[in-house]
Amino acid sequence: MHYKTYLSSFEKFGMRLGLERIHYLLERLDHPEKAFDSILIAGTNGKGSVVAMLASILKEAGLPAGQAGIKVGQYTSPHLFDYTERIKVNGKDIKPKDLDRLMLLVSKVVEEMEDQPTVFEVLTAAALLYFKEQKVQVALLEVGLGGRFDATNAVTPVLSVITQIAYDHTEVLGKKLEQIAFEKAGIIKDGVEVVVGDAPKGALKIIVKTAKTKHAKILCAKTGQVKFLSQQLEGQKVKVGKDVFFLPLVGRHQLSNLAIVLKVIERLNELENRRLNASVSKRYIGDNMETATFSRRFPLRCDNRAIKKGLQNTNWPLRFQLLSKRPLIILDAAHNVSGAKALVDTLKESRFKKPIVFYVGILKRKDYKGILKEFARVADKFLVTTFNYPEASSVKELLTAIKKETKVPAEHLLLKDAKRVLLGKYKHAVICVAGSIYFGAEFVKMWRLTVRGSYCKIRV
């Protein structure tokens, strides 16, 4: 069974939130999610960066020097080029033949189901099966959409994370930040601690209220502990206490993501110390202490060496990613207003002495007017296009919005002509490709196309 063909058969069902189908799948598959510890990560922006940093650090942690470290599973979405990118163990994508085999196992359960699952639910079940097979000690699970009714929320983690609350997917999650926060806070489980990043006051109030009803302790990440030192196109140097780290993810917004990561590591270390000091561990339930079993599958010893090496090896594509130096091309997945603001702030801080040209493609369901207004704060020129995705905005829609919302000149540039035009007319500009992860992927495919007709590899 070929996974691409099988998964495409579920596209007709679209996006349907709810936990009944994934619960059924996992039950019939003998609950693979119970074979390892999980950390569940939700949030509007920053989820993927937090997963990438955590995965890289945890891979370096674990057992004493000279011995193999712990095995880390990584489940993220969406992918750039192939579904296999979504499921990783210690940074390596699942092999196509393994995904084929897992699809066959899942399909036998799906045949029993009257209410057919979604693509994401099938992939989630396959990912959890794979992590069980690979004997991972911990899996980092990125929530797909929202949290409360997302398929990943069928898992009970050892720790939950909420990175940031901002406007996105408002047609599903609600038009107010408090409504969005309520959906994200849906991942909070009874007695399971939750690490929370920066959040607006109203949104944080909702998260705190949910945590109280679930008797879950909130651990606030301290962005102020991460001090910015310097930045270049390949990454930035930061200081935490007396330690200096290099992070190959650019932008001040990554400091808050790093603060979340450090709080997670700090808490996991504390839990491990507690496990080592007693046959049972204690966890907080409100202001009281309750006896509870803590997993012994996760032998974490994460020191500064692991953090330093893990951070410098972090890879997360399309996050202010340098694709080319001549011409200077930066890829960014900014696809909502909050992400666009972070990108623009990073561009301003970079203080380029060249004109900045935005090459954009954006989905219709996004606030593309708000995104374009943010980009216009630094843009000297807009180049717009549509791309191969069902919900891509038309060129006319984007040009009309730019004319109405900004004073930046704009023109249409077909994707097939982009390489020739950018290498010619705009070779002395800073070219920022942004607006959608799907558009970014299409651009990379075009840019990396060789004369032999194959794509050069980009790390994913």
What secondary structure letter does DSSP report for 224? G
User: 294 has which bridge partners?
Assistant: none
Q: Note whether residue 389 is domain-resident.
A: yes
Give me the pLDDT at residue 450, please: 37
Q: Note whether residue 57 is domain-resident.
A: yes
Band (pLDDT 50/70/90 cuts) for residue 271 is confident
Q: Amino acid identity, residue 28?
A: R
Sign, Cα dihedral of 39, 188, 215, 198 = positive
Has residue 338 got a pLDDT over 50?
Answer: yes
CATH classification at residue 357: 3.90.190.20
Q: Note whether residue 431 is domain-resident.
A: yes
Same structural domain, 11 and 128:
yes
How many angstroms separate the Cα of 420 from the Cα of each of 272, 287, 369, 425, 441?
Answer: 55, 64, 28, 8, 18
Helices of type H across 174-302: 177-184, 201-213, 253-277
Same structural domain, 236 and 214:
yes
Q: Note whether residue 460 is domain-resident.
A: no
Q: Are strands 321-325 and 288-292 parallel, antiparallel or unpaired?
A: unpaired
pLDDT tens track for 109-122:
999 999 999 999 99
| Mean pLDDT, residues 97-104 | 97
Question: Distance between CA 245 and CA 411 in Å, rounded?
Answer: 42
Same structural domain, 233 and 339:
no
Region label for 212, one of left (φ > 0), alpha (ψ between -120 and 50) or beta (otherwise): alpha
Cis peptide before 96 (omega within 30 of 0): no
Give me the pLDDT at residue 294, please: 45
Q: If residue 96 lies in a helix (H) or strand (E), which one and from where to where?
A: helix 96-110
Among residues 297, 371, 312, 333, the alpha carbon closest in space to that of 131 is found at 297
Same structural domain, 196 and 117:
yes
Has residue 299 got a pLDDT over 90?
Answer: no
Same structural domain, 229 and 255:
yes
The domain in which residue 107 lies consists of 3-312
Band (pLDDT 50/70/90 cuts) for residue 348 is very high
Band (pLDDT 50/70/90 cuts) for residue 287 is very low
Give me the pLDDT at residue 302, please: 85
Average pLDDT, rounded, for the chain: 90
Which of 288, 312, 336 delimits the end of a domain? 312
Has residue 15 got a pLDDT over 90?
Answer: no
What lies within 8 Å, CB to CB, of 252 at 6+ separation is: 228, 342, 345, 346, 349
Give me the pLDDT at residue 46, please: 93
Q: Note whether residue 458 is domain-resident.
A: no
How many angstroms separate the Cα of 2 from the Cα of each of 6, 7, 115, 118, 126?
Answer: 6, 9, 22, 17, 13
Question: Distance between CA 411 and CA 77 in Å, rounded?
Answer: 31
Give me the pLDDT at residue 269, please: 87
Q: Are strands 288-292 and 281-285 parallel, antiparallel or unpaired?
A: antiparallel
How many helices and strands, by DSSP H and E, does the chain display?
A: 15, 19
Other CB atoms within 10 Å distance of the CB of residue 348: 12
Say which residue, 215 or 290, is predicted with more confidence: 215
The CA-based dihedral angle spanning residues 149, 15, 47, 105, taken in that order and rounded to the nearest 10 degrees: 90
Band (pLDDT 50/70/90 cuts) for residue 62 is low
What lies within 8 Å, CB to CB, of 55 at 6+ separation is: 72, 74, 88, 91, 140
Which of 312, 331, 351 delimits the end of a domain? 312
Has residue 65 got a pLDDT over 60?
Answer: no
Same structural domain, 107 and 81:
yes
pLDDT tens track for 446-458:
988 632 333 344 4
Give me the pLDDT at residue 1, please: 74
Under a CB-based contact definition with an 8 Å cutoff, are residues 143 and 47 in contact?
Answer: yes
Same structural domain, 404 and 432:
yes
Same structural domain, 159 and 95:
yes
Domain count, the chain: 2
Same structural domain, 7 and 106:
yes
Q: Note whether residue 38 is domain-resident.
A: yes
Greatest alpha-carbon pair distance for the chain in Å reads 68
Same structural domain, 132 and 162:
yes
Question: Distance between CA 193 and CA 172 in Å, rounded?
Answer: 26
Which of 272, 289, 312 delimits the end of a domain? 312
